[in-house]
Amino acid sequence: MDKNLGQAPVQELALVEKQAFEMPVYTTQNGSTIKQLKVGWEAYGTLNADKSNVILITHFFSGTSHAAGKYTADDAAPGYWDAIIGPNKAIDTNKYYVISVDTLVNANVFDKNVITTGPATINPDTGKAYGLSFPVVTIADFVEVQKALLDSLGIAKLHAVVGASMGSFQAIEWATRYPDKVERLIPVIGTAYIDAWAAVKLERWAYPIKTDPNWHNGDYYEHGQPKQGLVTALAYIIQDAVFPTGFNMRYPAPATDAAPHNNILASFSAWDQLMQHAAMRAEVQDANHILYLIRASQLYRAGMGDNWQQAIKNISAKTLFLPATGDQLLYPAMAKASVDAMNAGENHAGAKQADYAEIPGIWGHLDGVVGIAAVADKIEALLN
Q: Footprint of a second copy on this chain (CB under 8 A)?
A: 29-30, 132, 134, 136, 138, 193-201, 203-204, 207-208, 211-213, 218, 232, 236, 239, 242, 244-245, 247-248, 250-255, 260-265, 267-268, 270-271, 274, 291-292, 295, 298-299, 301, 305-308, 328, 331, 333
- Residue 270 Cβ vs a second copy, minimum distance, rounded to whole Å: 4
Q: Residue 383: enclosing H or E segment and its boundaries?
A: helix 376-383
Three-state secondary-structure class, residue 91: strand
Nearest CB to a second copy, comparing residues 41 and 292: 292
What DSSP line would sit under 174-208, residue for residue? HHHH-TTTBSEEEEES--SB--HHHHHHHHHHHHH
Query: Between 55 and 296, whose beta carbon lies closer to a second copy?
Result: 296
Mutual angle of helices 166-177 and 287-298, in 10-degree steps: 50
Q: Which of 62, 65, 100, 165 is catalytic?
A: 165
Q: Whose CA is closest to 237, among 269, 196, 285?
A: 285
Closest approach, Cβ 353 to a second copy, in A, equals 23
User: CA 198, CA 325: separation in Å to the nearest integer?
Assistant: 17
Angle in degrees, 0-180, between the axes of helices 227-240 and 269-282, rounded to the nearest 10: 110
* Catalytic member of 66, 159, 289, 365: 365
Q: How far is the CB of 205 from a second copy (least distance, A)?
A: 10
Short-list 322, 321, 334, CA closest to 361: 322
Rounded CA gap, 150 and 54, in Å? 10
Of 270 and 354, which has the nearer Cβ to a second copy? 270
d(CA 151, CA 154): 5
- Going by their DSSP bridges, the two strands 33-44 and 97-101 should be labelled as antiparallel
Based on CB atoms, which residue is closest to a second copy, 90 or 270? 270
Q: Which is nearer to a second copy, 85 or 166 (CB)?
A: 166
User: Do 91 and 98 touch, CB atoms closer than 8 A?
Assistant: yes
| 333 or 381: CB nearest a second copy | 333
Nearer to a second copy, 201 or 281 (CB): 201
Closest CB 144 distance from a second copy, rounded Å = 15
Smallest separation, CB 254 to a second copy (Å): 5
Backbone angles phi, psi at 285, to 5 degrees: -110, 160
Smallest gap from residue 255 Cβ to a second copy (A)? 6
User: Of 92, 327, 338, 367, which one is the catalytic site residue?
Assistant: 327
Beta strands in 45-179 (DSSP E): 54-58, 85-86, 91-92, 97-101, 122-123, 128-129, 160-164
Query: Least CB distance from residue 74 to a second copy, whole Å?
Result: 34
Q: Is 48 helix (H, G, I), strand (E, B) or coil?
A: coil
Annotation says 365 is catalytic: yes
Task: Examine the residue annotation and report whether 327 is marked as an active-site residue of this protein.
Answer: yes
DSSP state of 103: P
Residues catalogued as catalytic: 165, 327, 365
